[in-house]
Chains A and B, each alone.
Chain A
């Protein structure tokens, strides 16, 4: 049903996207313009133009395979890690040109943290999971390590659970706890942007709720881009929403705008149908 709709409406989609750019892009923290991603010859993301304001939470929603993960991976240049992956267009983090081949990607990834869909703490102790990135970025003093690790574990609400077993393998924790370790691991470097790729999708409602609360508590401090399949979640926590869609294998941005506008008065029929479909 939806597929039919895409093919029918796909021809005119571009007239919607350009008008839905946030009106004031001067304070945009992340700014993408006509961003394309190819895997080999396959176009995975087509012409995405999107801005995310500083300190806000932006939700990216859309069906499977529409390029949400690919979009996130452009922002921390994880696309570099994928053989035959190519990115074109314009992408800026503040004034840093993320398309430049000469930027220091390790420094960039320190500024942009990421949490993946599946909890994937390293098969190390909880302590080492957090100490490894810290040490890599120059924190060597044991006191400072300890203090930063404790702070971030308290922040993700894990300190009381793990304070007695920091030396135990992180893989021995529950799925929800593991995902919070991953969140802590991303936060411990004090990034300014946090990319979350369906962080709650493999968790039970309780753990999912905890992570959601945590994300909300970070609003204002960090700029957050979260991919989610829960429209209700996007509605609860996001300041703005971007709806992606896949057409003939290539993902594109249908519509983006303030959360309320997307949910209450969607401009594009695909958005309307997508939201309707989830509601019903």
Chain B
């Protein structure tokens, strides 16, 4: 009180400075975001149509559409999720519920995951190429690409799920145990539903990263732009297509922007639906 009275204008001045900086930062970020989105929308909207979305590319992508890329992307992301969701959930549960937080082993697992989460995607691409394409003999295929992305996404997924499992108050575990509930019931009926928001957050981050991935896919799923007929076919992901159009195809810019618009739209849609699903699931499981 006394201090404040002795220099009444200083805190006020400081407060205004801080507010100014905060608003500047907010303004900057928002402007950047809007600029980016409007750039993509303005340049791409003229090209996007059902025709564009469904048909195959012609003339190296300058004409035609992105149908095969959407199919390939969906298949790659599907493989990625099919592998990473069960593996990620399982590992997170083992780490959080079945190992002691301070044990050497789990500490090492955790540290490795944190390092993996920061490894550049091109390194994953090289690893995926060496391991899935060559060693396992899967060649350039959607399967190789999806599994490489799964390796990339897993650290994020495991760590965020584990964190949210650990954030669940100990009382729930104690009172579950006091009722004679088995570990399995406690985990499946109580802890997983409670950890779902964290899991969904990890999943959204992961899928976002997977869908936007270019470098890792160049080496693993390839860039053949036909409609894929099986998981062992090579296929071109949407992001790879954008990269190709922008870098290798003169006159491909408008189609690159249109593809980018579709990709951004898809990411938005996935973000919204997955948080909606997580909400519903949580409500369903918890009421």
Contacts and interface: CB of A to CB of B under 8 A. Distances in A.
Contact of A132 (B100, B178, B181, B194): B181
A107 B181 CA distance: 10
Nearest to B179: A133
B177 A116 contact: no
A42 interface: no
A76 B263 CA distance: 56
Contacts of A128: 287
A261 interface: no
Contact of A109 (B169, B178, B190, B194): B178
A182 interface: yes
B181 A136 contact: yes
19 contacts: A78-B178, A80-B177, A81-B174, A81-B177, A109-B178, A113-B178, A116-B171, A116-B175, A120-B171, A122-B176, A122-B190, A123-B194, A128-B287, A132-B189, A133-B180, A169-B286, A186-B179, A189-B179, A189-B180
B182 interface: yes
Contacts of B180: 105-110, 133, 136-137, 189
A76 B171 contact: no
Interface in B160-182: 169, 171-182
Contacts of A137: 180
A167 B283 CA distance: 11
Contacts of B179: 109, 113, 132-133, 136, 185-186, 189
The 4 A-B residue pairs with the shortest CB-CB distance, nearest first, are: A109-B180, A114-B178, A133-B179, A110-B180
Interface in A74-111: 76, 78, 80-81, 83, 105-110
Contacts of B38: none
Interface string A113-140: 1101010101111001000110011000
B175 A120 contact: yes
Given A122-B175, A189-B180, 10 more contacts: A76-B178, A78-B177, A109-B177, A122-B176, A125-B287, A128-B287, A132-B189, A136-B179, A167-B287, A168-B287
Nearest to A108: B180
A107 B177 CA distance: 11
Contact of A136 (B171, B174, B178, B182): B182
Most chain B CB within 10 A, of A80, A125, A132, A182, is at A132
Contacts, number: 69
A27 B77 CA distance: 66
Interface in B250-287: 286-287
A186 B180 CA distance: 10
Contacts of A116: 171, 174-175, 178
B185 interface: yes
Interface of B: 100, 169, 171-182, 185, 189-190, 194, 286-287
Residue in B100, B172, B194, B286 whose Cβ sees the most chain A Cβ within 10 Å: B286
A107 B169 CA distance: 24
Interface residues of A, number: 32
Contacts of A132: 179, 181, 185, 189
B189 A83 contact: no
B23 to A, nearest CB: 38
A122 B172 CA distance: 7
Contacts of A80: 177
Contacts of A107: 180
B105 to A, nearest CB: 15
A185 B176 CA distance: 10
Contacts of B174: 78, 81, 116
A185 B177 CA distance: 13
A132 B171 CA distance: 16
A108 B172 CA distance: 19
Interface string A145-177: 000000000000000000000011100000000
Contacts of B175: 114, 116, 120, 122, 182, 185
A189 B185 CA distance: 16
Contact of A124 (B100, B173, B287): B287
Contacts of B181: 106, 132-133, 136
Interface string A189-203: 100000000000000
Contacts of B172: 120, 122
Contacts of A78: 174, 177-178
A124 B178 contact: no
Nearest to A121: B175
